[in-house]
Amino acid sequence: MKRRSTTILWVVGISLMVVPASIVALAWLLGRSGMIGAWTGVLLFAIGFQLLRWASGIGVVLILAAIIVGQKSRLVSHHSRVISWILFIVVFILTCGFILRFPQILTATFKIPPFELWQSRIILGGERLSREVAYRVPDVGVVTDIQYEADRRLTIAGLRGAAFVNASGTPVAATRYEECKSEVDSVRTVTNEGPYFLCRGGWIEAPKLFDVSGGLIWSLSVTGDGVDDSAAGDLGDGLVVAVGYNGGTGVRLVDPFHSGNELWSQQDAGNIWNVEIATSEDKPDGFIIHSNSGGELVIRDKSGVVLSRLKPAIYLTKFSLTDWGADLHPDKLITSDENGIYVIGMDGNILARYPVDHQVDITHLKATVLRGSNGNPYLAVVQDYEQWHRSRLRIFDERNFTIYEEVLNDNCASLRTVSDPAGLETLFLGCDGVVIRYRARQD
């Protein structure tokens, strides 16, 4: 009877561990080979991943129980007992790991934020900054981009629309476009045409470009491999869109004003996690920068030729562009892993590391330099915990110490610093239907 019970526990325990892992692997293989569509692959992967997180822990416990039951049986040989004790130690370690990870699995599955994010509050440095609601823009949804235009106007772009604020700080117009499930960027050409609004797209939707009135200019027709990210910019010949694909399709450059005509395609980089179009002091005509499944930082010219392929000290996935220190060019990368937040230069070197909470690797990051009343450059970083409907704003000084920290009960996904004629700087934080203004108090 005991032997039968032991066998059942072993079979069930191993099955609980193997079956979900097989579903995840099968979804990846079939999706990469193109045998199933992107949506089917995502659904299978999601089901397998959710089952894996729970079933593997239960399976480990059942295997542990099988070993204990088997040890009590007199029918087990000495050799089998030795093997069982080795398995017991291994499974015991795995069980302890599962127990330690269980709170994180629970919060991730049921979207329960960790304790430090439960309450909206200023944790540190409230005496350093004044804080007020600058603009209420409920029709735009979550604000994902704020641009300071040449005529001192603000363009506030959100998931559902955009709002425009004149030089005196008064909202003067708004526009609506088809709701976007990813991020929306406000972009202009080098001749100041626009703004245009790019819905960056991803697995769940195709990239789209809207005009200033909200009219659809272009939408990518996705076939085969899905899209991971896209970015718009002017590389000298008008506005173009760089699209990064998964499934080894690589990166493509398209002309959205001519039916999405493909200008070039490069498949030498595997899966593309994140893509941006940027300029720098030594590359004023612009370039394309992206990460890939190899964790590399790849820089291309407007023809798609690789200018550099770098391997940062951390595995590079999602990032956004930022200025940093005394250099106001937004040609540095802000990114993160489970150990902290990093600023990375175009040479692949880490310029700064900020050790913060362990949940930072699941957040969307935006950053900008904010100068204090003493003129020192600080770095403001917002982390958007989208799944928990929370955000965290931190400001770091030049020694990388946190001087301001705030938890917000909202999705906040954009930052912008604006200087007034007197040289004092204002930080705008874009959240869900609202823009918050921060100013440094005078020392």
pTM: 0.77
Asked if 403 and 397 touch (Cβ cutoff 8 Å), the reply is yes
Residues in the chain: 443
Under 8 Å between Cβ of 335 and 365: yes
- What is the model's pLDDT at position 41? 56
Distance in angstroms (rounded) separating the CA atoms of residues 88 and 66? 9
What span, in angstroms and rounded, lies between the C-alpha atoms of 205 and 142? 17
pLDDT of residue 75: 47
Distance in Å from the first CA to the final CA of the chain: 79
Angle at 254 between CA 40 and CA 294, to 5 degrees: 60
Share of the chain above pLDDT 70, in %: 72
CB count within 10 Å of CB 73 equals 15
Region 39-50: mean pLDDT is: 60
* Tens digit of each residue's pLDDT (9 = 90 or more) over 375-430: 789 999 999 988 888 999 999 998 999 999 999 999 999 999 998 777 778 999 99
In 279-315, which positions are buried (b, 16+ CB within 10 angstroms) versus exposed (e)?
A: bbeeeeebbbbbbbeeebbbbbebebeeeeeeebebe
pLDDT in tens, 433-442: 999 999 987 6
**Who has greater pLDDT, 268 or 174?**
174
Express as a percent the part of the chain with pLDDT over 90.
48
Bigger pLDDT: 71 vs 352: 352
DSSP letter string over 374-439? T--EEEEEEEEEGGGTEEEEEEE-TTS-EEEEEEESS---EEEEEE-TTS-EEEEEE-BSEEEEEE
- pLDDT class of 171 with cuts at 50, 70, 90: confident
| 8 Å CB contact between 191 and 221 | no
pLDDT (tens digit per residue) in 105-136: 555 555 567 778 888 999 999 998 999 999 99
If you average pLDDT over residues 240-268, what whole number do you get? Answer: 89
Greater model confidence, 269 or 275: 275
Cβ neighbour number for residue 376 with a 10 Å cutoff? 13
199-231 pLDDT tens trace: 999 887 899 999 999 999 999 986 556 889 999
Q: Three-state SS for 160? A: coil
pLDDT tens for each residue of 73-93: 544 555 555 666 666 666 666
Residue 233 has pLDDT above 60, yes or no: yes
CA distances from 301 to 236, 278, 283, 298, 354 (A): 11, 11, 9, 10, 31
Q: Which of 301, 286, 203, 280 is nearest to 244 (CA)?
A: 203
Ranking 21-35, 275-289, 346-360 by mean pLDDT, the lowest is 21-35
Contact (CB, 8 A) for 378 and 98: no
pLDDT tens digits, 61-76 = 666 666 666 655 544 5
